[in-house]
Amino acid sequence: MKNPLHPAILSLFVSGIAAADPLPNLNLEPGTTTVSGLSSGAFMAVQIQVAFSGTISGAGIVAGGPYDCAAGAVWRALFVCMDPFLIEPDAGASVSMIQAMAAENLIDPVDGITPDRLYLFHGQADDTVARVTMDTLSQTYTLLGVSPDDMAYVTSIDAGHGFVTERGPVPCDETRPDFLIDCDFDQAGNILNQLYDDLQQPVEPGDEGFVTFDQSDYTENAPGMDDTAFAYIPASCAEGETCRLHITLHGCKQGRETIGEDYARLTGYNRWAEANGIVILYPQAIEIPSPWFNPFGGNPNGCWDWWGYSGRDHLSKSAPQLAAIANMAAALGAPLD
């Protein structure tokens, strides 16, 4: 039997969340939170999965790479992880860093990663993030003990660099803004079906379920994060039924300040969410202009921090952006820590 609709959620569901309103506390099932992302969002999704492995049960990685791939240096991000020149990413080094961070209790124990379900994707026409980087991520998970039966690695689609959708404005094999590419392939559905069992077929999402909220309530002034973000809350979840949380992270040049609501509206997650009681959280990153004296500084493309622009600590549970996302998950009813 459904629980009566909480007055705060009723207001949210009828009129949408105003920019100043907080996220509602929902009835979310512990231990079923998953995460996904594209490009910088994919690297960040790996960081979230690894840091909070005790509560994250799976990850979908589209054109990303292994934990600590950049080792805190933007030149490594560019010339080791994205476009390897003389040095390629190292799965063993990633595993060693994960083990070292866990030993210092900066992230959850390593064995929390082993049972996770994974979806990995690299498009055949993607020349932005190298295939070898995704191969290294796959090797990293294997070294961590993830079963091949729990890991899907898709490399068969002639897709450029972007999130693959059935509604994107960019032709499948191209790489250009808005990085939402139309390959007649439902990537959001593929990700969620890999991460969860027995999903029902998608339905049209309700406009009332798409909400905008004040992200600044949760960021504690974390560098590179917008004041506004989005979520999708299915009707059943707003009415009090037990639901699950999926966090998905846009790529560079895909944040709200650049493409508005398109990532949250067009990726296809909301259709599956409405049919299956999955709340979707869409955190938002923003640009930080490069200083005149350092063209490789800042965050001029609105990327998530996977190389250290927010500070020396960008990998642990207390890292500014990871902690902010954890705050949002906790507010919704799914604490990560």
Of the candidates 249, 198, 224, which has an alpha carbon nearest to the alpha carbon of residue 43?
A: 249
**HEC per residue, the chain:** CCCCCCHHHHHHHHHCCCCCCCCCCCCECCCCEEEEEECHHHHHHHHHHHHCCCCEEEEEEECCCCCCCCCCCHHHHHHHHHCCCCCCCCHHHHHHHHHHHHHCCCCCCHHHCCCCEEEEECCCCCCCCCHHHHHHHHHHHHHCCCCHHHEEEECCCCCCCCEEECCCCEECCCCCCCCEEECCCCHHHHHHHHHCCCCCCCCCCCHHHEEEEECHHHHCCCCCECCEEEEECCHHHHCCCCEEEEEEECCCCCCHHHHCCHHHHHCCHHHHHHHHCEEEEECCECCECCCCCCCCCCECCCCCCCCCCCCCCCCCCCCHHHHHHHHHHHHHCCCCC
CB 230 within 8 A of CB 212: yes
* Residues annotated as part of the active site: 39, 126, 161
The size of the chain, in residues, is 337
| Cβ neighbours, 10 Å, residue 30 | 11
